[in-house]
Amino acid sequence: MDVVRDEGAPTAGASRRWCELHRCSRLRSTGAALPMSLVVAFAALSVSACGMSGEDVIATMGLPTSATAGPGSDAQAISQMPPGQTGGVAGAIQVTPKQRAYLDALTRGGVDPSSELTALSIGSYVCQAHAAHQSDQAVWDFVVPMVRDDVRDSTPGSEPLPAGQVDSVTADYIRIATDRLC
């Protein structure tokens, strides 16, 4: 019995190559993208569901590690703030005496932050970088974009910043945070 082959039909190898070059490879990549997007979505959901609120972060910002240590340590509890540090104006942030001294030193040093929260954030980043034993240049490189944004936010209008102003304010932030906050 002779097998008659249709000359117009592609061979098995040829159709596989065609599939790899065209439609089938697109289907394969789409199939791989779906599981990857599910993994990313699951990771985002897991991280956001951990229950960490902004209040937890702000309450400990700028405090030494001993004051923010977990249960079982010798650290003073956050809820046991010194008298006069609780209550106050609704929406106002609560600051420790050390944080207040830092903010006051910034004002005396000629730094006009756009907000106290921004100033505390920048100071906190300086302290974290020092605690991680980063070089002075690494601390500078890490903090200068935040200071630039702060200077822009505190400057009225959209006028260009004077040359050297960002560098001067960055140096003040780093010096004062290192001396007063860290």
pLDDT, tens digit, 9 for 90 and up, residues 111-142:
999 999 999 999 999 999 999 999 999 999 99
Question: What integer pLDDT is reported at residue 153 of this predicted model?
Answer: 87
List the helix and strand counts (H, then E) for the chain.
Answer: 8, 0
Q: What ranges make up the beta strands (E) of 67-176?
A: none
Say yes or no: 105 and 172 in one domain: yes
Q: Say what the alpha-carbon torsion angle 124, 99, 172, 117 is, to the nearest 10 degrees.
A: 60
**54-58, 75-79, 162-166, range with greatest mean pLDDT:** 162-166
Length of the chain: 182
Residue 158 lies inside a defined structural domain of this protein: yes
As to burial, measured by CB atoms within 10 angstroms (0-12 exposed, 13-18 middle, 19+ buried), residue 109 is middle
Say yes or no: 35 and 119 in one domain: no
Residue 69 lies inside a defined structural domain of this protein: no
User: Quick check: 39 and 33 in contact, CB under 8 A?
Assistant: no
- The mean pLDDT of the chain is 70
Say yes or no: 162 and 106 in one domain: yes
User: Quick check: 172 and 106 in contact, CB under 8 A?
Assistant: yes
Between 28 and 93, the more confident residue is 93
Closest CA to 111 of 37, 165, 30: 165
Residue 57 lies inside a defined structural domain of this protein: no
Say yes or no: 40 and 100 in one domain: no
Residue 79 lies inside a defined structural domain of this protein: no
Say yes or no: 41 and 99 in one domain: no
- pLDDT exceeds cutoff 80 at 95: yes
User: Quick check: 61 and 93 in contact, CB under 8 A?
Assistant: no
For the chain, what is the domain count?
Answer: 2
Say yes or no: 108 and 170 in one domain: yes
Residue 113 lies inside a defined structural domain of this protein: yes
**pLDDT level of residue 52 (50, 70, 90 thresholds):** very low
Mean pLDDT (whole number) for 12-37: 50
Dist CA 48 CA 53 (whole Å): 10
Find the domain containing 103 and state its range.
Answer: 93-182
Mean pLDDT (whole number) for 42-61: 47
Residue 175 lies inside a defined structural domain of this protein: yes
Say yes or no: 97 and 181 in one domain: yes
Question: What integer pLDDT is reported at residue 86 of this predicted model?
Answer: 44
**Chain segment 141-165, per-residue pLDDT in tens:** 999 999 999 998 888 777 777 778 8
Q: Which amino acid is at 173?
A: Y
